Amino acid sequence: MTPRTARATLLVAALLTCLSAGFWLHALWLAGRPPAASPAPAPTRTADAMQEAFVSVAERVRPAVVHLGTVQVARSRVPPITPGPSDDPFFKEFFDQFFGRGQGPRGEFRTPGLGSGVIIDKRGYVLTNFHVVKGADAVTVRLSTKKEYPGRIVGSDPKTDLAVIRFIPDGEITVATLGNSDTLRVGEWAIAIGNPFGLDQTVTVGVISATGRSEVGIASYENFVQTDASINPGNSGGPLVNLRGEVIGINTAIVAAGQGIGFAIPANMVKRVTSQLLDRGKVVRGWLGIAMEPLTPELAQSLGLPGTAGAIVKRVYPGSPAAAAELRPNDVIVGFDGTAIEDYHQLQRLGAEAEVGRTVKLDVVRAKKRRTVELKIAEAPTDPTTSR
């Protein structure tokens, strides 16, 4: 081996030794590092985000939901049935079970009731259903902290089944925010919070099943939000909430014969009614001065109309705004101040919500001809058949 060949061989051997050492050092470095966390699958991240949204809403809104306990006192002229001279606890329990525990002094009977409500103002104003507090002689407001306060009915509106209660808080309270129910879409998530069967602070989840439901037979002015979130006795007056934590409705009724069919009063109707109850103690509604009936396919055909959109004037009350506007029976109202009328329920709501004294334009079809009339909204009388 020549000196040049020997040097080349030594150089190659040294190079190979360095490369081998480098690979070993790299391997040892990688072995010492903790394994990199693999990213969570997309479905898992989505489920976690959804779960966190529901939990966040529950944590924010539940403290604003209250338990309402009511008592109705009735007096009986008939002397109460008593167990007799014996004070035996067995007989007392027997008579309590079969004749009720609500008997007070001198034939006074107390009937308890329960429902839900939601705090909407730091001053202690609570929204609930009228039917929850109807006829109540006493109202107790119990917060999520279990503190109880006497409540007072500030105002109520049987026609929409809404009422406002007030208690005087002695500290900070959580207030819920009313959202915009006009932007609701079918399929959106809905969360119901309340006290079904006295089970306080119960949260159930569903979706918006429908909007604008009427002919449910619960109230005079119906425009309900339908949901399949579980609603049971005791939920009445509690909030229906969206994923932003906004109250989009006040739970009011269920279809007893079905499952997953509940109804809530939309938040925008609640706002209008509540503002008047707080300002005036009552609700002032607009009045057109007509009795209406639905436009059936048969009536539409006989009147020469292409469809059933609109409301038929069944009667015009004397001295009413409709009489002044010269509306007639069998006129079909198809527009209210630029809004197309789908049915008579919608026209009834628009008229009731219109400001008293405002002049509106009605699109009317009479004898197959369309015309526009102006009508000045009046305040709705208690009984239109005997007014004016």
12 pLDDT tier (thresholds 50, 70, 90) = low
- Cβ–Cβ < 8 Å for 208, 258: no
Question: Is residue 161 annotated as a catalytic residue, yes or no?
Answer: yes
- Cβ–Cβ < 8 Å for 178, 110: no
Annotated active-site residue in 181, 230, 236, 320: 236
Task: Say which residues have a Cβ less than 8 Å from residue 103's Cβ, sequence separation at least 6.
Answer: 80, 109, 110
Is the pLDDT higher at 317 or at 28? 317
Mean pLDDT taken over the chain: 84
Lowest mean pLDDT among 30-44, 113-127, 304-318, 343-357: 30-44
Structural domains of the chain in order of their starting residue, each with its CATH number: 62-80+91-166 (2.40.10.10), 177-280 (2.40.10.10), 286-379 (2.30.42.10)
List, for residues 178-196, the tens digit of each pLDDT value. 999 999 999 999 999 999 9
Percent of the chain predicted with pLDDT > 90? 57
386 pLDDT tier (thresholds 50, 70, 90) = very low
Percent of the chain predicted with pLDDT > 70? 79
Is 29's pLDDT higher than 60?
no
Give me the pLDDT at residue 106, please.
60
Lowest mean pLDDT among 105-114, 143-152, 162-171, 248-257: 105-114
Give me the pLDDT at residue 373, please.
94
Is the full-model pTM beyond 0.85?
A: no
Annotated active-site residue in 116, 131, 156, 181: 131
Average pLDDT over residues 270-282: 91
Pick left, alpha or beta for residue 295 (phi over 0 → left; psi -120 to 50 → alpha; otherwise beta).
Answer: beta
Annotated active-site residue in 157, 161, 228, 363: 161
Helix or strand (DSSP H, E) at 73: strand 65-75
Give me the pLDDT at residue 161, please.
93
Is the pLDDT higher at 181 or at 254? 181
Question: Is residue 87 annotated as a catalytic residue, yes or no?
Answer: no
Task: Name the percent of the chain in helix, strand, coil, to the closest 5.
Answer: 30, 35, 40
- Cβ–Cβ < 8 Å for 299, 279: no
Give me the pLDDT at residue 15, please.
55
CA distances from 66 to 63, 118, 144, 198, 245 (A): 8, 6, 6, 11, 16
Question: Is residue 236 annotated as a catalytic residue, yes or no?
Answer: yes
Lowest mean pLDDT among 25-39, 63-77, 88-102, 307-321: 88-102
DSSP state, residue 103: B
Give me the pLDDT at residue 311, please.
93
Is 44's pLDDT higher than 90?
no
